[in-house]
Amino acid sequence: QQQVKQSPQSLIVQKGGISIINCAYENTAFDYFPWYQQFPGKGPALLIAIRPDVSEKKEGRFTISFNKSAKQFSLHIMDSQPGDSATYFCAASIRFGNEKLTFGTGTRLTIIP
Amino acid sequence: GAVVSQHPSRVICKSGTSVKIECRSLDFQATTMFWYRQFPKQSLMLMATSNEGSKATYEQGVEKDKFLINHASLTLSTLTVTSAHPEDSSFYICSARPTGEGYTFGSGTRLTVV
């Protein structure tokens, strides 16, 4: 059962543009929602995470928007750069991240000049 | 930030042999570590949860006798792929969570069984 659905599967954005990746979850017990960035041949690296008591969190060019009623959250990358080209995974967990992560299917982001 | 070291990064082995992958938390203690498997262009699939000093918890469909996990200390967990076959070829990644921080992942191990 796919508990975290991620879209789009792939995304091409022009340099300087905004990249937006969306995720939707089913389990209302989830209370920790991180985003990971993965480069080919490497392990995922934590980008930013949010808890459901806030609707938005921003760190540098990366912003998470969270809609608890819709059970959706999204990652916005502002001023996208070629170095942002990677695969992005959303994830969810319960007990504020003290339990195992459930990952989305991933989005391959390509930033073109 | 916290670092999880995984070794080796790449390994090629012959079909029928066993391969051991190590996962170390370098600057924190980890009573729990997680092992994932990732096929090309796919997401991470949790294989098992490694618990220090006790038996690992395996996800449904993961063969316990094929994927042996040992968490002998607070900083080391190992995954041994026994009697490896070509279908076991994959990218294996471990993860741990320092107190108060998010999950940190190792750099992964590319296993190729020939």
Q: What single letter denotes the amino acid at residue A41?
A: G
- A96, with CB counted inside 10 A (0-12, 13-18, 19+), is exposed
Q: Is A31 on the interface with B (CB under 8 A)?
A: no
> A76, A63 in Cβ contact below 8 A?
yes
CA gap A11, A85 in Å, rounded:
10
Is residue B41 within 8 angstroms of chain A, CB to CB? yes
Give the CB-side neighbour count of residue B56, counting CA atoms within 13 A: 25
Contacting residues for B28 by C-beta, under 8 A, at least 6 apart: B2, B96, B98, B99
Q: CB contact, 8 Å: A34 with chain B? A: yes
Q: What is the pLDDT of residue A97?
A: 61
pLDDT at position A82 over 60:
yes
Smallest CA-to-CA distance from B78 within B24, B18, B16 is with B24
Per-residue pLDDT tens over the stretch A44-65: 999 999 998 999 999 999 999 9
Has residue B1 got a pLDDT over 90?
no
Q: Residue B102: is its pLDDT beyond 90?
A: no
Q: What are B4-42's pLDDT values in tens digits? A: 999 999 999 999 999 999 999 999 999 999 999 999 999
* Mean pLDDT (whole number) for A102-111: 97
Least CB–CB distance from B46: residue in A97, A98, A100? A100
Tokens (6 digits) for B114 = 């020939």
Q: Nearest to residue A87, comparing CAs of B72, B77, B40?
A: B40
Mean of the pLDDT values across residues A100-109?
A: 95
Write down the pLDDT at residue A99: 80
Are B43 and A105 an interchain contact pair (Cβ–Cβ within 8 Å)?
A: yes
Q: Which residues of A touch B6 (CB under 8 A)?
A: 43
Q: Is omega for the bond preceding B86 within 30 degrees of 0, making it cis? A: no
**B65 pLDDT band (50/70/90 cuts)?**
very high
Looking at residue A74, what is its pLDDT?
A: 98
pLDDT band at B72 (very low <50, low <70, confident <90, very high): confident
* Cβ–Cβ under 8 Å, residues A19 and A80: yes
Q: Using the beta-carbon criterion (under 8 Å), do B97 and A97 form an inter-chain contact?
A: yes
* DSSP symbol at A44: -
